[in-house]
Amino acid sequence: MKKMHAFGLVGLALIIVGSIYGLTASPPERHMGDVSRILYVHVPTAWNCLLIYLFAFGFAIASLWTGKQRWDIATTAAIETGVVLNILLLGTGMIFAKPTWGIWWDWDVRLTTSLIALIFYAAILALRTFIDDPNRRATLTAVTCIISFVDVPLIYFGVRWWRSLHQIQSSPETMAETMVFPMRVNAFAVLFISIWFMLLRARIERSKLESDEVVEPPVRRAMATA
């Protein structure tokens, strides 16, 4: 078995522990009731989404600096994993918002900047499919990835700088201890699963690029048709 699958196994084990604890041992929130338990997936997803976009930013800088293909592969793997987490964070956020805030969506700073991140990073993945030259593709991916990263600190700090509907970050002081624990466990779970996804995605990208390089010699094709 490949070593990378260890990340997946640890992540899945942790998410089972964290979620069972969050669904049983944690209390329902005093004002929200049981619906507050979605925090244990929403918050870990959001943290890791921003973290993985930070990884992509670092990989993109390395890709432009070195020109090595492995950094382009790493950048793409991180962006794609980040996009999956971004979709999950928006989805769980909307499911959380309806019963607590009373609405599915509003154009507040955190919701809007989170949606902008999804559009930007998904656009980079789309852009990649239009460029055939691997060098140009790597350069454009890295440049757009670096510029898109501007949005990520805005997601994090926007609720502190500007008026918003979304509350600011919680801390262990503002949360019951029995709620902090499952959130931490699930945060590490999602991190491990995300690393696993990135390694898997990098492997796929590598084999895709290798298969692109294998060009069938015209002579052999001529022989085949003969």
Partner 1 sequence: MDKTPVASVSNPSSDPAAGVRTRRILMVASLGLALVIFGYMAFGGLGDELIYYWSPTELLDAGETAQSASIRLGGLVVPQSIVRGDDGLTLDFRVTDGDTEVPVRAETVPPAMFRGGIGVVLEGSMGADGVFDTTRLMVKHDNEYKAPDTEDNRSIKELVKSMQFETTDT
CA distance 79 to 60: 10
CA distances (Å), origin 38, targets 30, 95, 99: 15, 8, 11
CA distance 33 to 53: 32
Q: Is 143 in the site for partner 1 (CB under 8 A)?
A: yes
Nearer to partner 1, 183 or 199 (CB): 183
Q: For partner 1, which stretch binds (CB under 8 A), given 59-67, 121-129, 196-204, 209-217?
A: 59-67
Among 6, 33, 91, 127, binds partner 1 (CB under 8 A): 33
Cα dihedral: 18, 24, 29, 33 (round 10): 120
Cβ at position 97, least distance to partner 1 in Å: 9
Token pair recorded at residue 69: 């293909």
The length of the chain in residues reads 226
| 133, containing H or E segment | none
Cβ at position 158, least distance to partner 1 in Å: 9
Site for partner 1 in 104-133 (CB under 8 A): 106, 108-109, 133
| 198, containing H or E segment | helix 177-213
Q: Is 212 in the site for partner 1 (CB under 8 A)?
A: no
Residues near partner 1 (CB under 8 A)? 27-33, 36, 39, 61, 64-65, 67, 98-103, 106, 108-109, 133, 135, 139, 142-143, 146-147, 149-150, 153-154, 157, 161-165, 167-171, 174-176, 178-179
